[in-house]
């Protein structure tokens, strides 16, 4: 797996922080009873989680393509890390029972896990919404472009006015949603293009294809109107 320079830097800094934490704990004159030992262990877990999370957020992860989600994820991780460090330092000195330490650690980790999960779901929703909007816009833009090309190639025909009307339906129609007719509309455009590509093709056949496309667009617009999302 290719690792970016930013991700590599995070790994190196994470290792350095771990080494410093171990060095300070074992070199300084601290009371190494059960509670401080557990507090130190929980702090080490927080360091690993924090830097692993930063690594994931800066890597080419599909979950973090949205900048807002990435910023939220990193912010939550940072607050989690700072909270754990402060809580464990205080608890190591003041906590009288090991259960108190565990309860504090569980509350912090559970809260962080919930917030990170919500952030991940929000990111997925934002990506899905952006992808959907892109598909909606592409269908209408693609349709308008292809019909415009047909108009340019067939300007003086009996079906030109009807074709121009269909072009306007694409150009000014709602691109705010996908409908069950969209796939059929694309197929109808392909069928129309195929008929128009035939030399000396029967204009009545082309007119029929355009009418079929027009009817599908009308059904699409009606469905959008029924859902209260616009349409012409």
pLDDT in tens, the chain (232 residues): 456 677 788 889 989 999 999 988 888 776 777 888 899 999 999 999 999 988 888 775 655 666 767 788 889 999 999 999 999 888 888 878 888 889 999 999 999 999 888 887 776 666 666 565 555 557 778 888 888 888 888 888 888 899 999 888 888 877 666 778 888 888 898 899 888 888 777 888 899 999 999 998 888 888 878 776 544 4
Do 57 and 109 have their domain in common? yes
Residue 39 falls inside a structural domain: yes
Do 163 and 125 have their domain in common? no
Do 82 and 126 have their domain in common? yes
Which of 98, 131, 164 is a domain's end point? 131
Please spell the DSSP secondary structure of the chain, one letter per residue.
----HHHHHHHHHHHHHHHHHHHHHHHS----SHHHHHHHHHHHHHHHHHHHHHHHHHSS-GGG-SHHHHHHHHHHHHHHHHHHHHHHHHHHHH--SHHHHHHHHHHHHHHHHHHHHHHHHHHHHHHHHHHHHHHHHHHHHHHHHHHHHHHHH--SSTTHHHHHHHHHHHHHS--S---TTHHHHHHHHHHHHHHHTSTT--HHHHHHHHHHHHHHHHHHHHHHHHTTS---
Domain containing 70: what range?
5-131
Which of 97, 131, 165 is a domain's end point? 131
Residue 146 falls inside a structural domain: no
pTM greater than 0.75 (yes/no): no
Do 41 and 114 have their domain in common? yes
Do 221 and 118 have their domain in common? no
Which of 79, 98, 131 is a domain's end point? 131
Residue 195 falls inside a structural domain: yes
Domain count, the chain: 2
């Amino acid at each position: 797996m290719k690792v970016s320079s930013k991700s590599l830097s995070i790994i190196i800094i994470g290792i350095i922080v771990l080494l410093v934490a171990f060095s300070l704990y074992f070199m300084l004159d601290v009371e190494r009873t059960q509670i401080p030992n557990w507090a130190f262990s929980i702090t080490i877990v927080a360091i690993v989680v924090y830097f692993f999370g930063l690594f994931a957020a800066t890597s080419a992860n599909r979950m973090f393509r949205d900048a807002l989600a990435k910023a939220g994820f990193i912010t939550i991780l940072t607050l989690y890390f700072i909270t754990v460090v402060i809580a464990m330092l205080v608890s190591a000195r003041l906590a009288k029972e090991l259960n108190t330490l565990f309860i504090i650690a569980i509350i912090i980790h559970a809260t962080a896990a919930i917030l990170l999960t919500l952030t991940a779901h929000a990111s997925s929703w934002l990506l899905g919404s952006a992808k959907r909007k892109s598909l909606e816009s592409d269908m209408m833009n693609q349709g308008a472009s292809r019909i415009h090309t047909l108009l340019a190639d067939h300007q003086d025909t009996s079906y030109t006015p009807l074709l121009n009307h269909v072009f306007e339906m694409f150009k000014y129609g709602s691109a705010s949603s996908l409908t069950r007719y969209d796939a059929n509309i694309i197929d109808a455009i392909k069928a129309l293009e195929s008929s128009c590509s035939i030399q000396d093709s029967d204009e009545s056949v082309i007119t029929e294809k355009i009418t079929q496309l027009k009817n599908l667009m009308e059904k699409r617009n009606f469905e959008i109107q029924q859902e209260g999302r616009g349409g012409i």
